[in-house]
Amino acid sequence: MNNPTPTHLKQINTLRSEIQQHNYSYHVLDDPTIADVEYDKLFKQLLELEKQFPDLITPDSPTQRVGATPLDGFIKCAHKEPMLSLENGFSDNELEEFDRRVREGLASTKDVVYAVEPKLDGVAVSLVYESGKLVRAVTRGDGRVGEDVTVGVRTINSVPLNLFGSNHPQLVEIRGEIFFPLKEFNIFNENALANGEKTFANPRNAAAGSLRQLDPKITAKRALKFYFHSLGEWIGEAKPQSHSLLTNLLKEWRIPVCQEGAVVVGVAGCLAYYKKLEAKRDGLPYEIDGVVYKVDNFSDRQKLGFVARAPRWAMAHKYAAREVTTTVSAIDIQVGRTGALTPVARLVPVNVGGVMVTNATLHNFQELARKEVRVGDWVMVRRAGDVIPEVVRIIREKRPRVTKEFIPPTTCPVCDAAVVWPQGEVVARCSGGLSCPAQRLGAIKHFVARRAMDIDGLGDKLVASLLEKGFISSIADLYSLVEKKAELLKMERMGEKSVDNLLAGINASRKRDLSHFLFALGIKEVGETTARNLARHFKTWERLSQADQEALQGAADVGSVVAESLLNFFREPHNQEVISQLQLIEDSNWWQVEESATTHGARPLEGVTVVLTGTLEKLTRQQAKARLESLGAKVSGSVSKRTGLVVAGEKAGSKLKKAQELGVNVLDEAGFIDKYL
């Protein structure tokens, strides 16, 4: 084996710090500075050098986050200083009482300065850094003794293995919350559902379950995040004098800190913060169950001290619960666009996190059987963000004496066609196809949807009543509505303006191109990206509809399953009939790809380098990035002369300034949404 030269050593160190830098930009700042492939290249270079010189591998190398061997069990570990809990309050009065006690304890008449943060719903852990190195991570446990979860925590990319900068205390215990972001939680559960595997009831359980894996390789796959919220032991170096100063220092050390944190003054400041965050709650990328108010100044905290197991200087102000109990009054079955049968629990109405909920999904019959839900049962219902409410579990102890097991139907509850259970799928389907009114309704709703033909003025309710009144029975019929203005005006709640709107929307949809049209047809397996690839490859409907299996598989990302599904679609007599009706519509643009760079064109940002900066409110950065890439843009982390567009959210800083200096096009979030979403 070769001996490493100083150049090798330098190379390794440079690669490690570069990788750490990119990790930080990506996982903490949410602001990637290089493309994923370039990151992978650096990582591979480091792996190769370490393979060549194994003696140079250090535990804090970015390659060493996932340990090689699973643990046998978790070791108990005592906290030097107990990890306390918080006093909970639910009303403005309780906040006023808390503030009064604080001022009394401080013998102060002045308004108190509070550090305020979201109360994250996750797992509390303490990270111990010795001379800047992460040596231990321990769960809260009972507050005095927790479990050593170092191996799992090391896999969380945003948690630094080494604190950035210098002059770190000899020992510092950084406490915070490990949580499962909502988007990743939903993806995890959707995949689990599709594979018939066990789902997690909520993100908190998902975080705890993922952290308490003996095999760190599993934890590493689970997208966990960490945010600091409090301090444990601190030995050596001068300690900051307040929570807000400490937070600034931790940011310099590159410890992940929640961006929503703030400093406010007095009860009025706390309340304004509580309300502001409540308005944002549904759009936050993680679950919160309230806000935490903490006296900012550390010596004031010391004066106030503790009661029982909670500090006198902090309070959690809770929001309405996202999980509540109610009873099931019926179990109905919904039939979707693709014929999938979804059991839905009708509930005795209940307020969940500020919204009245009357229905909750049971996903599929397998889930319903697993959860053993029956009419009459008490159930725990959960709503998170803008996701459909779901039944989490039954409360068995409260089951009434007489209940009946739910038996899945053998025929479609809407059209009576046979129910089939396709092999390898967990869902049951109606075999009626477009002769089933429910599938027809779903197909038309999908056709007119924003991402499909984008027909303005035609919402779900209107589609349903047009079908019910016999105005339409297929997507082709939508275009004959233009001749039925007088009849449409006779419908309830359809004034001159709404009818004109509807007809203008229908007319305008003739301008959509092949890729939107293909997606709008709702062909099984053909999502937006596949539709775009097919349109780009075949250019015209004619060529596409005449392609055989092999020719179809010539398009990007089209395999045998997609090709098969397309062939089935083209073969089906009802589809052929609808297509030939659509072919009679004048001035329709659907039969070929649109090359022009309009909003509805295929890739208006093809080849344009776009930089995202600042905080986006309506979209996550990942969503914005994915959307830009689907429009053909190359998303980059830094602004230069070659940048074609900068999308600047709130608090955009140096990148926005540079863009302005260079005269690069800038859009704010609203402008971006308006133009490209």
Q: Which of residues 139-168 bind ligand IVH (CB under 6 A)?
A: 140
Q: Are 582 and 520 in contact (CB under 8 A)?
A: no
Q: Among the candidate windows 119-127, 191-199, 214-222, 634-642, which touches ligand IVH by CB under 6 A? A: 119-127
Q: Which of residues 79-98 bind ligand IVH (CB under 6 A)?
A: 84-86
Backbone φ, ψ for residue 310 (5° rounding): -130, 145
Which CB atom, from 86 or from 362, has the smaller least distance to ligand IVH? 86
Rounded least distance, CB 135 to ligand IVH, Å: 21
Which CB atom, from 120 or from 220, has the smaller least distance to ligand IVH? 120
- Exactly one of 229, 243, 374, 625 binds ligand IVH (CB under 6 A); that residue is 229
Q: Rounded distance, CA 360 to CA 330, Å?
A: 11
CA atoms within 13 A of residue 556's CA, in its CB half-sphere: 9
Q: Rounded distance, CA 80 to CA 351, Å?
A: 42
Which CB atom, from 89 or from 649, has the smaller least distance to ligand IVH? 89
Residues in CB range of 44: below 8 A, 6 or more apart: none
548: nearest Cα among 527, 564, 528, 524 = 564
Q: From the candidates 51, 119, 221, 641, which is the catalytic residue?
A: 119
Which CB atom, from 34 or from 292, has the smaller least distance to ligand IVH? 292
Which CB atom, from 106 or from 292, has the smaller least distance to ligand IVH? 292
Rounded least distance, CB 455 to ligand IVH, Å: 44
- Exactly one of 18, 99, 117, 367 binds ligand IVH (CB under 6 A); that residue is 117
Rounded least distance, CB 231 to ligand IVH, Å: 9
Coil vs helix vs strand at 172: strand
- Give the x-and-dash track for 265-294 against ligand IVH (CB under 6 A): ---------------------------x--
Rounded least distance, CB 246 to ligand IVH, Å: 12
93: nearest Cα among 105, 82, 101 = 101
266-280 helix and 92-105 helix, angle to the nearest 10 degrees: 140
- Exactly one of 50, 177, 367, 513 binds ligand IVH (CB under 6 A); that residue is 177
List the helix and strand counts (H, then E) for the chain.
24, 24
Q: Which of residues 426-445 bind ligand IVH (CB under 6 A)?
A: none
Query: Residue 615 corresponds to which amino acid?
Result: T
Q: Is 250 in the site for ligand IVH (CB under 6 A)?
A: no
- Exactly one of 49, 95, 115, 124 binds ligand IVH (CB under 6 A); that residue is 124
Q: Rounded distance, CA 309 to CA 82, Å?
A: 9
Rounded least distance, CB 106 to ligand IVH, Å: 18
- Give the x-and-dash track for 125-144 against ligand IVH (CB under 6 A): ---------------x----
Residues in CB range of 113: below 8 A, 6 or more apart: 242, 263, 264, 265, 295, 296, 297
- How far is CA 95 from its chain centroid? 32
Q: How far is CA 615 from CA 174, 229, 326, 618, 626, in A?
A: 26, 21, 38, 10, 16
381: nearest Cα among 358, 399, 407 = 358
Backbone φ, ψ for residue 172 (5° rounding): -140, 135
- Give the x-and-dash track for 535-574 against ligand IVH (CB under 6 A): ----------------------------------------
Question: In 95-158, which ranges are E strands?
Answer: 113-120, 123-130, 133-139, 145-147
H or E stretch including 437?
A: helix 437-448
560-571 helix and 573-582 helix, angle to the nearest 10 degrees: 70
Chain residue whose CB lies nearest ligand IVH: 124
Rounded least distance, CB 177 to ligand IVH, Å: 5
Q: Is 225 in the site for ligand IVH (CB under 6 A)?
A: no
Q: Which two tokens stand for residue 178?
A: 């490990």
Rounded least distance, CB 140 to ligand IVH, Å: 5
Rounded least distance, CB 275 to ligand IVH, Å: 17
Q: Give the ranges where 119-202 is alpha helix by DSSP (H).
A: 150-153, 182-194
Which CB atom, from 314 or from 593, has the smaller least distance to ligand IVH? 314
Q: Which two tokens stand for residue 434?
A: 């477009």
Binding residues for ligand IVH, total number by CB under 6 A: 15
Rounded least distance, CB 262 to ligand IVH, Å: 12
Which CB atom, from 43 or from 298, has the smaller least distance to ligand IVH? 298
Rounded least distance, CB 352 to ligand IVH, Å: 21
Q: Rounded distance, CA 219 to CA 560, Å?
A: 34
Rounded least distance, CB 311 to ligand IVH, Å: 5
Q: Is 316 in the site for ligand IVH (CB under 6 A)?
A: yes
Q: Among the candidate windows 5-13, 308-316, 427-435, 455-463, which touches ligand IVH by CB under 6 A? A: 308-316
Q: Among the candidate windows 114-122, 472-480, 542-550, 625-633, which touches ligand IVH by CB under 6 A? A: 114-122
Which CB atom, from 150 or from 247, has the smaller least distance to ligand IVH? 247
H or E stretch including 49?
A: helix 36-52
Long-range contacts of 559-567 (CB under 8 A, 24+ apart): 561/525, 562/525, 562/526, 562/530, 565/523, 565/524, 565/525, 565/526, 566/523, 566/526, 566/534
Q: Which two tokens stand for residue 84?
A: 């306390």
- How deeply is 527 buried, as exposed, middle or buried, from its count of CB atoms within 10 A (0-12, 13-18, 19+)? exposed
- Exactly one of 120, 127, 172, 255 binds ligand IVH (CB under 6 A); that residue is 120
13: nearest Cα among 162, 156, 150 = 162
What secondary structure does DSSP assign to 452-505, as a single string? Answer: TT--TT--HHHHHHHHHTTS-SSGGGGGGGGG-HHHHHTSTT--HHHHHHHHHH
Q: Is 518 in the site for ligand IVH (CB under 6 A)?
A: no
Which CB atom, from 314 or from 391, has the smaller least distance to ligand IVH? 314
Rounded least distance, CB 351 to ligand IVH, Å: 23
- Exactly one of 314, 434, 518, 664 binds ligand IVH (CB under 6 A); that residue is 314
- How far is CA 310 from its chain centroid? 33
Which CB atom, from 149 or from 506, has the smaller least distance to ligand IVH? 149
Our answer to whether residue 51 is catalytic in this structure is no
Which CB atom, from 84 or from 375, has the smaller least distance to ligand IVH? 84
Q: Tokens 């003996």 correspond to what residue?
A: 214
Which CB atom, from 291 or from 466, has the smaller least distance to ligand IVH? 291
- Exactly one of 22, 65, 119, 429 binds ligand IVH (CB under 6 A); that residue is 119
- Exactly one of 67, 160, 203, 311 binds ligand IVH (CB under 6 A); that residue is 311
- Which residues contribute to the site for ligand IVH (CB under 6 A)? 84-86, 117, 119-120, 124, 140, 177, 229-230, 292, 311, 314, 316
Q: Which residues are catalytic?
A: 119
